[in-house]
Amino acid sequence: MIVNVLARRRWLNLGLLGLAGGLAALAWLESGQERSARAPDLLDLTPAQIERIVVERPGQTRLAFNRSGGRWWMIAPESGLANPILLSPILNLAGVHCPLWYAVAEVDLKSLQLDPPRLRLWLNDREIRFGSTAPTDGRRYLQIGATVHLCPDRLYPLLTSAAVGFRAPPIESPAPN
């Protein structure tokens, strides 16, 4: 009788081991499919291709930047050298991956605050319209052409901040001794 119980446990353990191995193989195969089905870049631009940035902010001044001589210059509302640290996340927006997107015909643009938008951003001639955030995870609705993307909300607070912060800090010369 004891031998029979041990044999049953051995078969049970072998069955559980086979089940665990099958689940691990299934998880590995599905992760490979997810990598190949990764969401495309938000725009077909690289940061190096972007030469002009314009931000229209209702109730605030318009921001405009141009790249010239390898440097970014603020041209509106003030003119001068732009802060490259603050422009970097804006330039990187083109390569963001937003796994959820919808056709404009499938959503109510007014309820997502995309008609009119809360903010408009142009990277070269590509317009990105910023809407509200999703109540479930805080992602922001972005409209590009006929598509609405649900993306991480990293830029809106930066784009609505004070215009003076986008100017590069002056380089001070050391005081003479």
Domain boundaries, the chain: 1-38, 47-166
What is the pTM for the complete model shown? Answer: 0.74
Q: How many H helices and E strands in the chain?
A: 3, 9
pLDDT digits (tens, 9 = 90+) for 101-141: 999 999 999 999 999 999 999 999 999 999 999 998 989 99
124: left (phi over 0), alpha (psi -120 to 50) or beta: left
Q: What is the three-class DSSP state of 81? A: strand
pLDDT at residue 31, rounded to an integer: 64
Q: Rounded to a whole number, what is the distance in angstroms from the first to the last CA of the chain?
A: 96
Q: For residue 140, what are the β-bridge partners? A: 133, 151
Is 35 a residue whose pLDDT tops 50? Answer: no
pLDDT at residue 54, rounded to an integer: 97
Average pLDDT, the chain: 87
Q: Residues of the chain with pLDDT > 90: what percent? A: 61
